[in-house]
Every structure is written in structure tokens, then in C-alpha cells.
Amino acid sequence: MGASRPSDAPASAHVMALPDFGTAIAPHTLERLVVSWLDEDVPTLDIGGHVVGDTELTATLYCKAASGKCVLCGQPFFDAIFNYLKCKVEWESFVKEGGVIDATCGKLACATVTGPARNLLLGERTALNLLSRTSGIATRVRAAVNACQEKGWKGMVAGTRKTTPGFRLCEKYACIVAGASSHRDNLSSMVMLKDNHVWATGSIRTAVERAKRFTGFTTKIEVEADSLESAREAASAGAEIVMLDNFGSENLHKTAAVLKQEFPHVIVEASGGIEEGNIVDFIGPNIDVVSKSWMQSYEVIDFSLKINTPKRQRCT
């Protein structure tokens, strides 16, 4: 499924400068990821690197016309890869993490990378893969966030834990850059009790009570509900978040209204059956969160890195 293209940055970007999202990623985490990515791509000899040697060259990062308007995301990963390889990255002044770039002119020069030729080519594909995918996720998520904000909804669009193994941090990060929530980052960051947990323990109440022995006051408990009765049981047992799963938009809003009236402190999440074309049908005054796994899927944004030659023209 193709990604929708954002017409502009999220509403919040109009009233304040975009934050430095990359400072949320610990340096040791970035270096560990970079080493693992490069080790996967070059596990033994780099013969192509031997061929080109250590001559210092400059390459230009282009966003291609097919990408049109897209959200730029992934600068911390791109920078970390080339910094590790002792190359210098300089971004064009108009290119901001989380900002919209427009390549409809044909191709758009976004940055330059300078360093030893073999290191430029060693990091090229890995850096482009990261930038292309995180930008693709951010572009798709931004479109969903904008659609909900345009309806005046004040809730939160969220991803899920249905992420690519080994790529979770990047996918979750892209959701945040786009203006959405990453949802829970892993099994330890929040307790989500789904149908299998309930079936295995015998009841929602039992599952919640067992979870509360460990969570204390620092970790929220969320329970998946498939009916108003199960939602009530979850809320009365002490769940802070109730997910109304696969309710359909009409039944969802009726159930959420009853649940909010009886348990106004409970966060109500909608999930299941939500697609790009109908997400606005699932938002409303009694819905706090809408989540969907397609938040982390994407159409890859087309970037390339080309070593500068006199014949290559830049479009800025």
C-alpha cells in the first residue's frame, strides 16, 4: 500500500521549532547499532573498498523526484554511520529532522558526505537503507496524524509492537518524529494483557491482579477488551488503559461513551479495523488513542548517494 504524502508539517511545528529528536538516542546505543549494521553488510573482506582506496572525496545525498513531498527522518542514524567511518556529514540548511522536503523538481540535494572513498562506499547502502525506511514510516504516520488533527481531535495516534526484529528502535523513533506515539516500546515498558493472557489465567480480574503485584505505581496496565462487559471488568480491576479491539466504528463510540461515563479516569484505546482511509471514523471525544500496526509499515523514500563529478547537477 502506498504512503500518503503530507501536505505540511504537523500543527505543532507551526508554533515551535522542531526539537532535536536525536538526543533521545543514547550514544552507546547508536554505536552498537551502527557496528551491528555494518558487520551484517561487510562480515569479512571489503574488496570494493580496497579498489577505491582512501582518497578523500565528497558525495551528495539526493532525494529523488518519485518521493515527492516526504518527511525527512533518520538523520541520527545516517550521521552515526558516517561519523563512525570518520566521514563528515553536512546537511543543507532547509533539511530538518521531522520537516517536509519536496523533491518534485527532479532530485533534491539534501546533504554532502566527505571522507575516504572506501568509507563513503562502505557506509553508503546501510545509511541509505536507514534513511529511506525511517523517512517512509514518518511520511505515512504524519499523514495519519494530520488527518486526525484536521478533525480537531486531541488524542494520540500510536504504532504497535508489530515491528521488524532488529529495527524496532528505528521504527518507533520514526513514529515519534512524525508526531505520533510509539506505544509501548517492549514487553517490559508496559503491561498489555491480551486475549491469550486472559484465557491462560482464567479471567481479566485474575490477570490484572497478578500484574499489579509487580507494576506498583510506575508501570501502566492495559487490557484488551472485546465487549463492554470485558471492558468494564478490566477498568474495575484496575487497568489504567482499556483497548477496545475490533469493535467497528459505530459500536466503538457507543461503548467508549459508556465506559468513559462509568470510568472517566481510564484511557480508552481503539484498535482493529483501522486503515489509512478510515482512521478518522475511529476518533472521537471518548477515544484517547488509536493504534494500528501499519504505522510502522512504509513505502521506501528514494534516496541516493553519488560521488560528486562536474556533470552531476544539484537541485536545491
User: Is residue 73 domain-shared with residue 194, that is, in the same domain?
Assistant: no
User: Is residue 119 domain-shared with residue 214, that is, in the same domain?
Assistant: no
Phi and psi at 311, nearest 5°, equal -80, -15
Cell digits for 7?
501536505
> What pLDDT score was predicted for residue 297?
76
In a domain, 225, yes or no: yes
SS3 label, residue 108: strand
Q: Are strands 267-271 and 289-291 parallel, antiparallel or unpaired?
A: parallel
Cα 10–14–15 angle (5° rounding)?
120
User: Is residue 268 domain-shared with residue 303, that is, in the same domain?
Assistant: no
User: Is residue 135 domain-shared with residue 258, that is, in the same domain?
Assistant: no
Question: What span, in angstroms and rounded, lies between the C-alpha atoms of 67 and 132?
Answer: 10
> What pLDDT score was predicted for residue 204?
97
Where are any strands of DSSP class E within the chain? 56-64, 69-71, 88-91, 100-102, 107-116, 156-158, 191-193, 221-225, 241-245, 267-271, 289-291, 303-307
Phi and psi at 223, nearest 5°, equal -125, 135
**193 has which bridge partners?**
223
Does the CA dihedral 212-218-223-224 come out positive or negative? negative
User: Is residue 267 domain-shared with residue 303, that is, in the same domain?
Assistant: no
User: Is residue 117 domain-shared with residue 41, that is, in the same domain?
Assistant: yes
Owning domain of residue 209: 190-291
> What pLDDT score was predicted for residue 244?
97
> What pLDDT score was predicted for residue 1?
36
> What pLDDT score was predicted for residue 59?
98
User: Is residue 205 domain-shared with residue 133, that is, in the same domain?
Assistant: no
Query: Contact at 8 Å (CB) between 308 and 64?
Result: no
pLDDT tens, residue by residue, 9-25: 444 433 457 889 999 99
In a domain, 99, yes or no: yes
User: Is residue 36 domain-shared with residue 71, that is, in the same domain?
Assistant: yes
Query: Contact at 8 Å (CB) between 241 and 223?
Result: yes
DSSP state of 105: T
CATH number of the domain residue 221 falls in: 3.20.20.70
SS3 label, residue 35: helix
User: Is residue 116 domain-shared with residue 203, that is, in the same domain?
Assistant: no
Structural domain count, the chain: 2
Ranges of the chain with pLDDT below 50:
1-4, 9-15, 313
Catalytic (active-site) positions: 162
